[in-house]
Chains A and B, each alone.
Chain A
Amino acid sequence: GAGVSQSPRYKVAKRGQDVALRCDPISGHVSLFWYQQALGQGPEFLTYFQNEAQLDKSGLPSDRFFAERPEGSVSTLKIQRTQQEDSAVYLCASHNNSPLHFGNGTRLTVT
């Protein structure tokens, strides 16, 4: 595709529900990143893939957060038992020896 595609654009979850956020990177981009952006803050690193390998997951806030990229293309960020503090915009970005290109993000609201 022409750009990084994320779905859904908006997600409202009740506290305790599980959610799954999808990212389709730019075709051919080897590296894929997930960031979390709270209101009024800069993006905070969550995790990073090179092809299907998850090279760094040091930014995942808790073991309720899990990310995968099984075939080295589409990635899914899963949050189990959502809490109110998980409310944020989740940004996916990809690159291939070039600067990061971001998707439009998924705005998650936990009520």
Chain B
Amino acid sequence: QKEVEQNSGPLSVPEGAIASLNCTYSDRGSQSFFWYRQYSGKSPELIMFIYSNGDKEDGRFTAQLNKASQYVSLLIRDSQPSDSATYLCAVNRGNTDKLIFGTGTRLQVFP
């Protein structure tokens, strides 16, 4: 079992729809959870981070964390073609600063 698992996709949604991206992790000691967006040929850029159970909203993005289920998700409302990218879930390992990344989910938003 990988430490951080994501469906590789592609996830295709129409413009204006809600895109839902999911991630599970195996280390119950993890405390910090991140979503990065990566355009093709570019480096990852931070979208959201969440430390506590529940929802955290920032503009069109909502991160959801459920530590009991070891599950973190990212919702993108009113999806735009410019949101088309690979979304990487990252989780810290235990009490360390080391971030472990999933393989990413490719999102395609079509007009």
Contacts and interface: CB of A to CB of B under 8 A. Distances in A.
B103 A42 contact: yes
Contact of A99 (B34, B101, B103): B34
Given A48-B97, A48-B98, A99-B49, A43 B34 contact: no
Contacts of B98: 33, 45, 48, 56
Interface stretch (B11-19, B39-47, B52-60, B69-77): B39-47
B42 A42 contact: no
A99 B82 CA distance: 23
A87 interface: no
A56 B104 CA distance: 24
* Dominant SS among interface residues on chain A: strand
Contacts of B99: 33, 45, 100
Contact size range, B = 20 to 34
Nearest to B97: A31
A102 B45 contact: yes
Interface in B68-94: 88, 90
Contacts of A56: 96, 98
Interface residues of A, number: 20
A56 B93 CA distance: 12
Given A42-B101, A43-B88, A104 B49 contact: no
A95 B96 CA distance: 13
Interface of A: 31, 33, 35, 40-45, 48, 56, 91, 95, 99-105
Interface of B: 4, 34, 36, 42-46, 49, 88, 90, 96-104
Which 6 residue pairs of A and B lie closest in terms of their CB atoms, listed nearest first?
A42-B101, A102-B43, A42-B103, A43-B101, A99-B46, A105-B43
